[in-house]
Structure 1
Amino acid sequence: METFQSQLTRKLSEALSSAGFPLGGEVSPATDPRFGDYQSNEALVLGKQRGENPRKIAETIIANLAVTEISEQPSVAGAGFINFTLKREAVETKIAALLGDERLGVEKVSSPRKIVIDFGSPNVAKPMHVGHIRSTFLGDALARIAEFLGHDVIRDNHIGDWGTQFGMVIWGWKNLLNLESLKRDPIAELVRIYKETNERATQDEAVREAARAELVKLQAGDRENYSIWKQCVDLSMQEFSKAYELLDIHYDIVRGESFYNDRLPAVVDRLLKSGLAEISEGAVCVFFRDIPELADKPCIIRKSDGGYNYATTDLATVDYRIKDLKANAVWYVVGAPQILHFKQIFAIARREGYAADFHHVTFGSILGADRKLMKTRSGENVPLRDLLEEGITRARAIIAQKNPELAESERNEI
């Protein structure tokens, strides 16, 4: 369904042609409602190009405009702006047409893309907190909009299911786990054993080394440690799913950090062989000497101790999403503190020849009434579950107050 703006733009182009001016012209929403609904500065552009009075050019254009069906008589304002005020009956007709169209006049794109949207991405063995709500909601909204426009969307939950913290978790599981607590509240128990192990490790080198040894065993494929890790992932996903169901969020795939473990050596080897990466002080780095804002900010893709990091994993995700998923657009809905990280990742990906539309959708932090990061009284992140339960409780109270006659089942549904 053609919009008022596109209609006026088309009519303006026809008027320019009729008046003997070059084809073109653009109509945009008016910057000040006092001057109407839409405006065009085409007369000013032509006046500058032709060395003529833009107001006279505007009057000539208006004389050739055929917009009586949708607009009041166009007017000239200022140095030569052409202003349009929509007719009330035209607006009413458009609204009626939109209400009768299940797509509300929004047409599907002519060239749909396959878009991978990376959003949410909570960490395993930790509760989802209030900070996750922005990435989750923004990513879901973008996915719904892109799908509505006709794009093929893949929602990817890139969970944090790998890393050094699992050495602590596994040691705690073997030495501190309370099975009853695990059954009652899995995430709380996993957090407890991690915190207690971490506290012990800071005071006892033997515990610290034991936790590190558990991590090495996990990375080497030890069956017992892998089983514990898998249980942690499964328990976490069950808790995440409860929140997603409540929020009406769904994912098409879940590709956590662990999914890419086997691909990381190939990423480093490929970049070294291509000359995009080089060894510096024992680490493998990518330098951006030709990009001023990144010139003094190399990206480490393998540490001097041989370990990999988030950059290595994210480069592996790029490769997988483009080659395996056949995506031609990848959107990362991640907080603003990661701006530098993604500038580096996108720069490397483009150097490797990936021509996809890479986009980092940034957002800020959720603040409390004191304008600081929202925390609990003990200084920890506010659990998302607590926030949602509080919201439901308050909403239920408002519904009960305003609609006391509603049945309990109806209140719950609302």
Structure 2
Amino acid sequence: VKELFEEALAAVVPAGIPTQLAMVAPTDQKNAQLGDYQCNNAMALFGMCKKLGADNPFKSPRAVAEAILAALPENELIKKTDIAGPGFINVTLNDSLLATTAARIVTDGVAWLAPTSRKGKKVIIDYSSPNVAKEMHVGHLRSTIIGESLARTYTFCGASVLALNHVGDWGTQFGMLIEHLNDQKAAGKATDDESVSDLTAFYKQAKARFDEEDEFKERARKRVTTLQGGDKESLRMWQEICDVSRKEFSKVYDRLEVNRLEERGESFYNPFLPETVKELLSIGVAIESDGAVCVFPEGKGPDDENVAPLIVRKSDGGFGYATTDLASIRHRIDVEKGDELVYVTDVGQSLHFQGFFDAAKRAKWWDPEKTRVEHVGFGLVLGEDGKRFRTRSGDTVKLASLLDEAVSRCHDNISQRNEEAYGGKMSKDEVSEAARIMGYGACKYADLKNNRTSNYVFSYDRMLELKGNTAVYLLYAHARVAQILVKAGVADEAGMEVARNSADGNIPLNMDKILEDGKAVVHITAPQERALALHIARLPEMLDDTLDGLNPHRICEYLYELANFYSSFYTECRVVGSDEQKSRLLLCESTARVMRKCLDLLGIEALYRL
């Protein structure tokens, strides 16, 4: 629809007026009687044309709207248009198009609906990024699942995605960690096979000694120097600590089904840091200040008050995060040839990202006209007291513990429902599997459904509710659709198991029972059918919106609305035993496929039976 109106606008915009982008938006459900979309260009364009004086070809905004409609290309998409008020253009789509779209999803899958705006682009997404020798905490949940959802969505939309894990595997803390590991081994408390079994305890012990023991602190500082100088034994022990951390990270990633991340830690960029600083100095973007090398905001300098520069080389000759980040953005543009670079971290780092983005632009390493570079910031996870989410003892909530608790609660809920409502039909293994899927899915969805920049309150009770905008509600909704197919005899329970273990999750169907003369045909005979088919057809524009704003919550909104449209359809339109059974079963299967794809883009597995 937007493309059609942009073609029409190009034909009617007079000389001297800038090219107009079509302002086309879906009509709000409360005003569905007006049409499916509304184009709101007429009044703004008329305001521009008034500046042309006698050369203005339009007498009113309504005349602009009439000209736009007259210039619309012939198409099979639009059924009717009308002009409301001073110049709002209402658009109603053809029912036949909506019906064909829903039917084709059953025969051809969902992939053909993916928008092509990102096809062929290389997108580099930096997410998760935990620190070595520290357990992943609840904050890493946000970065990991937001980044993973964006990676899946870009991939589905045709982009080539490089997902990078910018692990914190370098820095002064490794001096104390290596020295503490040395002492542990000397005291017989650690072996090469199991050197750092408890990462959190190990880090706390090393930090306490660094803060309290002067002799240990001095050794730790010397170890940093030998490590950065390339000492083989120091590098071996550094790698040992990294390997243990990597194994622990992998356990969490496996649980979250995050398997595309390529580790490229801070240490990867070490060889590029001296040259990065040298070039910044040579082109005048960086200057020396009090023995350090700094990048000040443009037009500012050391004598300006309340200015926080980027420190790219410390006074002791060491490099900081800013140096690594500048080297990385240059590498990702020049070497990796990224068309879009996306960094997923908390909003608290916004100023840092603004600073090194600006420095990269001034150094001409990044041209915003050629490469999209975005910081995808996210808010805090809060407890029900409105403060940072912590354990009762005040410690940061470990991600593994959070997932364990969610699965445990789901297991209790499903076990109870299995006995009380379903007579124990589900086996213990089925209950455990459903609890795993629902527990992990609930944690992800409770996070992703929020606008990422907002703080949100983490509540097990709320995220496990059966009603409302929760993963539990959506998983039950999908399972209900699947069971309708079984009830109608077009699928069976064995097929559900096949679907659960297949790559696309599609349920094997007896197509003879839903095809008409060998063809998939959907008939739209009720308003609830049309509303559902229209929402299904809006999948491509939702995905474009998601990637334009880098907001996975748009997928959640769409999915929740899809479940509600389906619920209205199923309530008002009899499926099994109706004259329109075949058509309505196709609508059911089309809904289920789109549901599964949206769940997959969020990193959530579907459930077929509950």
Counterpart in 1 of 2:390? 375
Counterpart in 2 of 1:138? 146
Give ranges in structure 1 of 5+ residues lacking alignment. none
- Structure 1 residue 182: deviation in Å? 9.4
The answer (yes or no) to whether the contact 2:118–2:157 under 8 Å persists in 1 is no
Aligned mate of 1:205, from 206, 214, 222: 214
Counterpart in 1 of 2:317? 306
Aligned residues: CA RMSD: 3.2
Listed one character per residue, the Cα deviations across residues 113-172 of structure 1 (whole Å, up to 9, x for unaligned) are 222111111001110111101111111111111112222111111100111211221222
- Structure 1 residue 360: deviation in Å? 0.8
- Structure 1 residue 290: deviation in Å? 4.0
Tell me the distance in 2 between the aligned counterparts of 1:89 and 1:396.
45
Normalising by structure 2, report the TM-score. Answer: 0.60
- 1:4-403 equivalences under 5 Å are 4-7=1-4, 26=22, 28-30=24-26, 32-33=28-29, 34=31, 35-45=34-44, 47-48=46-47, 49=49, 50=56, 52-55=59-62, 58=65, 73-86=80-93, 88-102=95-109, 103-109=111-117, 112-176=120-184, 179=189, 186=196, 188=198, 190-290=199-299, 296-354=307-365, 355=367, 356-403=371-418
Q: Bigger shift: 100-109 or 139-148?
A: 100-109
Secondary structure class of the residue paired with 2:263: coil
Tell me the distance in 2 between the aligned counterparts of 1:64 and 1:169.
70
Secondary structure class of the residue paired with 2:262: coil
Letter in 2 for 1:81: F
Tell me the distance in 2 between the aligned counterparts of 1:115 and 1:68.
34
The answer (yes or no) to whether the contact 1:119–1:334 under 8 Å persists in 2 is yes
Distance change in 2, residues 1:408/1:245 (3 Å): same
The answer (yes or no) to whether the contact 2:65–2:83 under 8 Å persists in 1 is yes
Q: Bigger shift: 267-276 or 251-260?
A: 251-260
Distance change in 2, residues 1:82/1:320 (3 Å): closer
Letter in 1 for 2:137: H
The answer (yes or no) to whether the contact 1:289–1:295 under 8 Å persists in 2 is no
- Structure 1 residue 276: deviation in Å? 1.7
Listed one character per residue, the Cα deviations across residues 205-252 of structure 1 (whole Å, up to 9, x for unaligned) are 222222222222322333333222111100110111111111111235
The answer (yes or no) to whether the contact 1:172–1:194 under 8 Å persists in 2 is no
Tell me the distance in 2 between the aligned counterparts of 1:37 and 1:261.
55
Tell me the distance in 1 between the aligned counterparts of 2:11 and 2:351.
48
Distance change in 2, residues 1:122/1:64 (3 Å): closer
Tell me the distance in 1 between the aligned counterparts of 2:39 and 2:231.
69
Distance change in 2, residues 1:248/1:89 (3 Å): same
Tell me the distance in 1 between the aligned counterparts of 2:210 and 2:10.
76
The answer (yes or no) to whether the contact 1:118–1:155 under 8 Å persists in 2 is yes
The answer (yes or no) to whether the contact 1:336–1:364 under 8 Å persists in 2 is yes
The answer (yes or no) to whether the contact 2:181–2:190 under 8 Å persists in 1 is no
Listed one character per residue, the Cα deviations across residues 155-214 of structure 1 (whole Å, up to 9, x for unaligned) are 1111001112112212221224674799789452x3323322322333332222222222
Distance change in 2, residues 1:218/1:23 (3 Å): closer
Tell me the distance in 2 between the aligned counterparts of 1:360 and 1:145.
17
Normalising by structure 1, report the TM-score. Answer: 0.86
Distance change in 2, residues 1:186/1:101 (3 Å): farther
The answer (yes or no) to whether the contact 2:190–2:196 under 8 Å persists in 1 is no
Tell me the distance in 2 between the aligned counterparts of 1:185 and 1:129.
22
Distance change in 2, residues 1:168/1:239 (3 Å): same
The answer (yes or no) to whether the contact 1:125–1:187 under 8 Å persists in 2 is no
Letter in 2 for 1:320: H
The answer (yes or no) to whether the contact 2:118–2:159 under 8 Å persists in 1 is no
Tell me the distance in 2 between the aligned counterparts of 1:196 and 1:401.
43
Tell me the distance in 1 between the aligned counterparts of 2:127 and 2:6.
37
Tell me the distance in 1 between the aligned counterparts of 2:240 and 2:46.
72
Tell me the distance in 2 between the aligned counterparts of 1:359 and 1:193.
36
Tell me the distance in 2 between the aligned counterparts of 1:15 and 1:269.
52
Tell me the distance in 2 between the aligned counterparts of 1:277 and 1:119.
28
Distance change in 2, residues 1:69/1:350 (3 Å): closer
Tell me the distance in 2 between the aligned counterparts of 1:342 and 1:300.
13
Secondary structure class of the residue paired with 1:334: strand
Total equivalences in the alignment: 404
The answer (yes or no) to whether the contact 1:289–1:296 under 8 Å persists in 2 is no
Q: Bigger shift: 55-64 or 275-284?
A: 55-64
Give ranges in structure 2 of 5+ residues lacking alignment. 50-55, 419-423, 435-610
Which structure has more relative contact order (CA 8 Å, sep 6+)? It is 2
- Structure 1 residue 343: deviation in Å? 1.1
Listed one character per residue, the Cα deviations across residues 374-407 of structure 1 (whole Å, up to 9, x for unaligned) are 1112222111110111122222223323333222
- Structure 1 residue 327: deviation in Å? 2.2
The answer (yes or no) to whether the contact 1:187–1:236 under 8 Å persists in 2 is no
Letter in 2 for 1:346: F
The answer (yes or no) to whether the contact 1:135–1:335 under 8 Å persists in 2 is yes
Letter in 2 for 1:327: G
Distance change in 2, residues 1:85/1:107 (3 Å): closer
- Structure 1 residue 352: deviation in Å? 2.4
Tell me the distance in 2 between the aligned counterparts of 1:44 and 1:381.
53
The answer (yes or no) to whether the contact 2:343–2:374 under 8 Å persists in 1 is yes
Letter in 1 for 2:385: D
Q: Bigger shift: 370-379 or 306-315?
A: 370-379
